[in-house]
Structure 1
Amino acid sequence: MRFLAKLQNSPRDVKILLASVFLRRASFGITSQVLTLFLISVGISKTSVGIFMTLTLVGDTLISLVLTWYSDLFGRRLVMIMGCVLMVAAGLIFAKALNYWVLLGAAVVGVISTSGDETGPFKSVEEACLSHAVVHELRAYIFATYGLLGTLGLAVGSSVCGVLVSYWSESLLWPLIKCYRTIFVIYAAIGLMKFTLTSLLSKDCEVNEVHNSETAVSDINEESQIPPLMATEQTESDPLIEGDVLEEASEEASPTFTGVLSPETRMYLPKLLVVFMLDSFGYGFMPPAWIVYYFRTIYHASPASLGTLFFFTNLVDSISSIASAMTFLLFGPVKAILVAQLPSAAFFALIPFWKSYTVAAGFYFLFCACATMDVVPRQILLTQLIPKRDLVRALGLVNIAKTFARCIGPLFTGRIAEHGHLEIAFYINGACLLLADSILGFNFAHLDRSILRIHGK
């Protein structure tokens, strides 16, 4: 109740950003349900669909690199507003165009997600804004709410898409291609709603304004009472956890854009990138768009049943986002990630072993229940260790690296699907998750106790 009261009294910008992530992920949930089916329905081969997804991710990576690296120079609000405008344009193009390259260009610039996951610079900018707006003690809960609303939006989008396509095709007897195109019109409408919300953000979202706001001042004052991250029960200090919060506060007092990452960030960010890229590399082999295709072709699942499945899997993702805040407070960020990811890897790899759609869908449900329990721990780990002056760029690099790693899988998935062996992609995904978690635990598990101390545990 105390958290709900504080959330209610939080700055307007926090509430707008939370509403924004719900709308954005809802739009991703709607399009990821039909993207693969739409591309195949307009005569594009499965191999070309895989190439389409890879090229989309490559384009998204390049655009995100520029926008996140210079977002503090351009203005965070401007970057988010530009993204909304491009969403509207892309949705309208998909509703009309047939040409492969036109669709590809629209998917790239219009942040159409090929996986239902985050695409573009929005997530990095929003997380940086949220971390500036709340104190350490509330950060885990705000990020949990952010993750909850994002996955809830994804659930609602997936469910709405399945229901609408089934109704249009079965009751109104629309051709499937018309159903898919209409879904992209809805995507454009959501982009317009998001544009309206984003326009209401205040100048306090900008890094050069944060230090002037009362919220940021109180944040710094509270942080200055917290001891720096120190290595515990070690004879030597750990360079990964020597970042002093007092120093972090002084950085915020005079933020300047230099375009150069700090030595602290350059020291440990590469190791984190290896972990996150391995995770995303495996995920790229079997994103939701291909899972929809797998269940549709192998088990002959209807659009309505798939919409229901993805509604409940995304709903459990939402609940898991809240649970991830609890696991963070119980285990620390790194161990909480391992507790979530290790079972999820096993559940995902076991999906192709079952002949029954119900059982396979059940294992996918279990995978989703565990997979997003690492959301808050990952966000805390990154936002705690990275100096605030580097935060948008570092988060941008993480998301860009993940997107780049995810680009590779679809090239092979399309070819694997052509040969009728899509189950191989499930095994690759599970193996990559296990390897990424092993590297993470070996390199960063010792940070948990120190980070928990900063959060009052």
Structure 2
Amino acid sequence: MHPVRSFFQATRDIRILWGSVFFRMAGYGLTNQVLTLHLEALGISESNIGLFMSLTLVGDTMISYFLTWNADRIGRKRVMMFGTLLMFTSGFTFAFSSNFLVLLTAAILGVISPSGDETGPFKSVEEASIAHLTPENHRPEVYAFYGVFATAGAAFGSLICGFLVDYMNASVGFPIEKCYRIIFLVYTGISIIKFILVCFLSPKCEIHNHDMDNIASEENSLLEAVEQDTTKSNFVSLSDRTFYLLPRLLAIFMLDSLGYGFMTSTWIVYYLKKTFEATATGLGLLFFLTNTVNSISSLPSAYLAKLLGPVRAILFTQAPSGAFFIVVAFLSNFYSASFFLLLYYITTSMDVVPRQILLTSLMPREELTKVMGIVNIGKTFARCIGPIFTGKFAAHGVLHYGFIINGGCVLLADLILATNFLHVDAEILHKQSIDAGFD
């Protein structure tokens, strides 16, 4: 484990991608605090808010499918630039429109995160680019820093939003709806910063750049077998090995995301606001803390992935995470609920780096953009289902059911993963033992 070495040796493109995810997640952290409450302030019912969330995720799935599947042909940099323009468009629309259908169209065709987490084509393309730019033995650390910057951005956005809303509402005297609209204007400003950053990416991020070809000779027999199968694939198909492994992994990841869709961060904010009458500043501070501990946990997760192997690392962190989330449903005050939410957020993202390692180690480099796209699209699609029911739960005063369903799906997904994929840890740990440097 050499995080300091990996951090300072990382190339300029990797650093730009770290900056890109920081600002994007800062924008999502901002809108996460106000999206559900803004829709309610516009007079939209809880059931329709749930429908809104689901349809937004459907739109994200469609946009992500097209852009990620074609990213290597269009160009990864161009796809990220276009996605940033979609962020700007949707944020601008939310800042000035009150019409439900207009907002829904902007959310579906643009990039608004209904969950406060990753949405759109960015994550898939960035993860594939990082894998392309990073040797195997540095990937856990580089992905860990990617996660650190992502959650640090979300924490920053959450904190700023809470204080801004309360200041504008209580001190300046702005109506609460106007406060929410200003937050979306800040979101558009962040999208401009992100666009400028992406413009500085070099051609090395593209799959057709072969500067990293020397790394392939150091990969073990597992990846060599995968690359032999890859010769059978073309732009519209995947290798035989990918067809074998990907559906099995995807089913596990989608089950996990299915549960998450029942209680996304925006609904957690809504639950805490309605159940415990939490203030915007209190919620901002809480989600600043949760995202901060979430950020810090990325580095230990890289260590666990190298020590235990990615599958065992996922199981070690996700099982407690699911249990902590279920407990929240049975708590009767804000402070105890906040404590268990902190425990949940400490552990819930510790599986992100191991999952990235698992996928990038098993799949051929030439197919990573498509594979990452399929996985993230599948996870987003699975999340579409939950919000419809969550809106109904909220309307009938049983929103706490979402915590139970979420945690139950996580525990079931862990059981299936342990049954089917524990054996791959040894192969991946061997691959990571090969020392290589950045190009």
Give the TM bin, normalised by the shorter chain: over 0.9
Structure 2 equivalent of residue 62 of structure 1: 62
Residues 1:13 and 2:6 aligned together: no
- 1:218, CA displacement in angstroms? 4.0
Structure 1 equivalent of residue 274 of structure 2: 297
CA distance, structure 1, for counterparts of residue 335 and residue 175 of structure 2: 28
1:251-290 alignment to 2 at 5 Å?
258-290=235-267
- 1:11, CA displacement in angstroms? 2.0
* Aligned partner of residue 261 in structure 1, secondary structure: coil
CA distance, structure 1, for counterparts of residue 156 and residue 128 of structure 2: 26
Structure 2 equivalent of residue 41 of structure 1: 41
CA distance, structure 2, for counterparts of residue 425 and residue 105 of structure 1: 26
CA distance, structure 2, for counterparts of residue 408 and residue 125 of structure 1: 25
Of residues 305, 315, 318, the one that matches 2:295 is 318
CA distance, structure 1, for counterparts of residue 233 and residue 2 of structure 2: 36
Q: Is the 8 A contact 2:311 2:421 kept in 1?
A: yes
Q: Is the 8 A contact 2:162 2:281 kept in 1?
A: yes
Residues 1:202 and 2:198 aligned together: no
* Aligned partner of residue 33 in structure 1, secondary structure: helix
CA distance, structure 2, for counterparts of residue 85 and residue 160 of structure 1: 23
Q: Is the 8 A contact 1:22 1:149 kept in 2?
A: yes
Structure 1 equivalent of residue 431 of structure 2: 454
- 1:5, CA displacement in angstroms? 4.0
Structure 2 equivalent of residue 239 of structure 1: none
- 1:244, CA displacement in angstroms? 2.0
The 1:191–1:328 alpha-carbon spacing in structure 2 relative to 1, beyond 3 Å, is same
Q: Is the 8 A contact 1:255 1:389 kept in 2?
A: no
Q: Is the 8 A contact 2:233 2:239 kept in 1?
A: no
* Aligned partner of residue 244 in structure 1, secondary structure: helix
Structure 2 equivalent of residue 173 of structure 1: 173
- How far does the alpha carbon of each residue in 1:75-102 deviate from its partner, in whole angstroms, 9 at most, with x for none? 1111000011111111111110011111
Of residues 319, 326, 330, the one that matches 1:349 is 326
> How large is the Cα RMSD of the aligned pairs?
1.7
Structure 2 equivalent of residue 337 of structure 1: 314
- 1:329, CA displacement in angstroms? 1.3
Of residues 199, 221, 239, the one that matches 1:228 is 221
Structure 2 equivalent of residue 428 of structure 1: 405
CA distance, structure 1, for counterparts of residue 403 and residue 118 of structure 2: 21
Q: Is the 8 A contact 1:72 1:257 kept in 2?
A: no
- 1:450, CA displacement in angstroms? 1.4
Of residues 212, 215, 219, the one that matches 2:215 is 219
- 1:108, CA displacement in angstroms? 1.9
One-letter amino acid of the counterpart of residue 244, structure 1: E
One-letter amino acid of the counterpart of residue 91, structure 1: G
Residues 1:122 and 2:115 aligned together: no
Structure 2 equivalent of residue 80 of structure 1: 80
CA distance, structure 2, for counterparts of residue 430 and residue 373 of structure 1: 16
Paired residue total: 434
* Aligned partner of residue 329 in structure 2, secondary structure: helix
Of residues 389, 392, 398, the one that matches 1:412 is 389
Residues 1:244 and 2:224 aligned together: yes
CA distance, structure 2, for counterparts of residue 3 and residue 367 of structure 1: 25
Residues 1:91 and 2:91 aligned together: yes
One-letter amino acid of the counterpart of residue 68, structure 2: T
- How far does the alpha carbon of each residue in 1:266-287 deviate from its partner, in whole angstroms, 9 at most, with x for none? 0010011110110000000000
One-letter amino acid of the counterpart of residue 287, structure 1: T
* Aligned partner of residue 49 in structure 1, secondary structure: helix
Q: Is the 8 A contact 1:284 1:409 kept in 2?
A: yes
Q: Is the 8 A contact 1:208 1:256 kept in 2?
A: no
Q: Is the 8 A contact 1:13 1:201 kept in 2?
A: yes
Residues 1:360 and 2:337 aligned together: yes
CA distance, structure 2, for counterparts of residue 68 and residue 255 of structure 1: 21
Structure 2 equivalent of residue 238 of structure 1: none
Gaps of 5+ in 1: 230-242
Return 6-15 or 376-385, whichever deviates more: 6-15
Identity of aligned residues (%): 49
Q: Is the 8 A contact 2:6 2:142 kept in 1?
A: no
CA distance, structure 2, for counterparts of residue 198 and residue 169 of structure 1: 35
Q: Is the 8 A contact 1:208 1:255 kept in 2?
A: no
Q: Is the 8 A contact 1:324 1:377 kept in 2?
A: yes
One-letter amino acid of the counterpart of residue 362, structure 1: F
CA distance, structure 2, for counterparts of residue 93 and residue 454 of structure 1: 48
The 1:89–1:360 alpha-carbon spacing in structure 2 relative to 1, beyond 3 Å, is same
The 1:375–1:248 alpha-carbon spacing in structure 2 relative to 1, beyond 3 Å, is same
Residues 1:392 and 2:388 aligned together: no
